[in-house]
Structure 1
Amino acid sequence: MTVTTDQLREDVARELDRARRRTRALTDAVDDSELVRQHSPLMSPLVWDLAHVGNQEELWLVREVGGREAVRRDLDELYDAFRHARRERPGLPLLSPDEARRYSTGVRDQALDVLSRARFEGDPLLADGFAFGMVIQHEQQHAETMLATHQLRSGVPALAAGPPPAALVPVAGEVLVPGGPFSMGAEVEPWALDNERPSRVVDVPGFFIDAAPVTNAQYAAFIADGGYGDERWWSPEGWAHRQAADLSAPMHWRGAEGGWSCVQFGREAPLAGDQPVVHVCFYEAEAYATWAGRRLPTEAEWEKAARWDPLTGRSRRYPWGDEAPTARHANLGQRHLSPAPVGAYPAGASPLGAHQLIGDVWEWTSSPFVAYPGFAPFPYREYSEVFFGSRQKVLRGGSFGTDAVACRASFRNWDHPIRRQIFSGFRCARDARPDEVR
């Protein structure tokens, strides 16, 4: 369906507003002393994120697209994520919370005026509203980062949300993904980012993948079997990190005589065994998979399981089709503050029967974050290119904290394999034997 210029303007304005309302909700939930404090050396003070999203909006929408004078050029270096490591940011002369709010509001007023005059054609930065979509996704990505900061803060809980839905169908075991070619990457997605492009045909041998992410109960069995103390299950790098970091359970788990509990956004509760495990690093996921006699899926395997339609042979935008996610399909957008039980979203299953590939938890893959053949950086190298290499592992699928605008089956996330403050989980895969392939 062709979208008119007026409709695209309305869509962009709505998404800009929705992203900003989420940013404000995450920062207004705590007082100024909490906003300026660093809750973990892995994270920025929340007030830094608040001004940073405004600065990116100024750079790309006010100056680059609008061709206007800078609102605050003196802030560019201060809020450049590549100039200052997160651990250094509390010591910078950051804007106060009130100054950051006024700055981001002033930038937004100008950005909306630029939007009202924009012609979405010609310049690749403007085609289909790409620059606006990039800025919207950037702010929603920082909202998820700020949500992770809230998970790391101590004190009285600041956020609240209703519980996730209960399981509607039983989901267990694995599903076969037949071997053969499929189209991987973004082809016609207008707001796809540079690392999703270009699309290409990839031939993937037949394999099995878990019908659902690994659950807390399944992961607890690994711990009970001595998984953290048995070097056999860990890669050399993983074992070294497990020892150095003294890992013994997922982040935020607490041991007790009556069983495990976990802390979610300041509230401790018994561990929900049927929810996907979250806050595990790549090495923990890899060790579990080895213990279970399996492995992590490659990035191509994950995407084929999520997108490939065996009836048509085409790649869908999402496991369920091309329709944008709704509350029926996936646990996205911070509607809840935890993953949902396995089986809670049967409407979001893939044609092959894999559930909850989108939402709930980011899923580690075994693949390094590298460029697709024919990659071209756009519109700036620092979005993807500078991160390419073997030191970063790809995660797929989004989490309960990921907004739908920044999540699709071709979307690629990445992080260091030791990271687990992110909302990360996983599912396992294995090669299909010749006698198992139809």
Structure 2
Amino acid sequence: MIQLIRGFKDILPGEAELWQEIERVSRDLFESFGFKEIRIPVMEKTELFARSIGEHTDIVEKEMYTFPDRKGDLITLRPEATASIVRSYVQHKMYAADPVRKFYTIGPMFRRERPQKGRYRQFYQINAEVIGVDAPYIDAQLIFLLATLLERLKVTDVAAHINSLGCPECRPAFREALTALLDGKKERLCEDCARRSGTNPLRVLDCKVPACREAMADAPSLLEYLCEGCKAHFDSVQRSLNRLGVPFVIDKKLVRGLDYYTRTTFEIQTGALGAQSAVAGGGRYDGLIKMLDGPDTPAIGFAIGLDRLAEIVGLRQADLEKKPRLFIAALGDACAEKAFDWICRLGLAGVHAEMDMADRSLKSQMKQADRCGADLVLILGESELASGSAVLRNMRTKEQAAVVIDDQTAARLLAHIQ
């Protein structure tokens, strides 16, 4: 028997309805705030991610699904969405008509990580991006939007963590101080952090290995090195969040390993997922668009892990499962023909109706109606066909109503259902 590739999963009926509801709530909220959907390809040229994410990150060095096409060009399954959205913004010169754009996208990403709870090699993200706005108000609005979305999805036990990563003017001094500290602690770091300390030292601050966290307990805070502009920006974000009633924690160890992040960075963390506590995160990436050959344009965005989110939402799958409104238990060929016509007409009218198509006994059909959770059952046999009347039973209340059998039966059933 052929089975799934390790790290991939099927989204089965039952769970799929939960995902659809999460997506529906997300779309409704985004569009209320002026975001428009963008659909980007799942494959891009490898150069896009190497340039945007950074060649010395774990994603590019170890996790990307990269392969040559028939012409030898390197192609990569997208590990994240931001670079692709920026590529599209630049390629189609969207900035020419209006540099300010709000996008959202929902879809699969691919990274060859170690599979664990809520994390897969094909995983799904909900992304929101704002391009062309450098005001700190938009930073606060995105965090507010994220908190609101989680509230609407009935996610509990969450906390917003925020930090500032500074800018190209103030970050070099911090990097120098951090590198000096790391030089004296390499022997206490895990293998990955020892390697990162020379290429991507900020990632060491975010390591979850206890020994590394202990070694970095006295690490300097980037907040102590912010220039006046970055400090004023971060202070404004905090004031806006307070006015909006969004509780937050200033987390000096919250960093981003991707090279394009600047200034505000944030995460929504939960205690419901164990060590992998982040369910959503994002930040400002003011240098990315210029890095990818576009105009010097500010931008900010966030990504939500849909796989993780589905595990912690307060929505019940049973409440979202779509069940037929009507089941027709038809006995005999003549009755089955009638039933078939009616369920097709009801389907066109937007009503989910089912019937048995295997010519089984009435007892078996009633069991099937019960299993599928139909609200109403119409029993149609030769006697009902001959008398021109059948009984429609409400499976919840046990109430019954007579339905005339003629050319207008489908319309009569529709009236009962509505």
TM bin (shorter chain): under 0.3
Higher-helix-fraction structure: 2
Higher Rg of the two aligned structures: 2
TM-score in terms of structure 1 length:
0.24
TM-score in terms of structure 2 length:
0.25
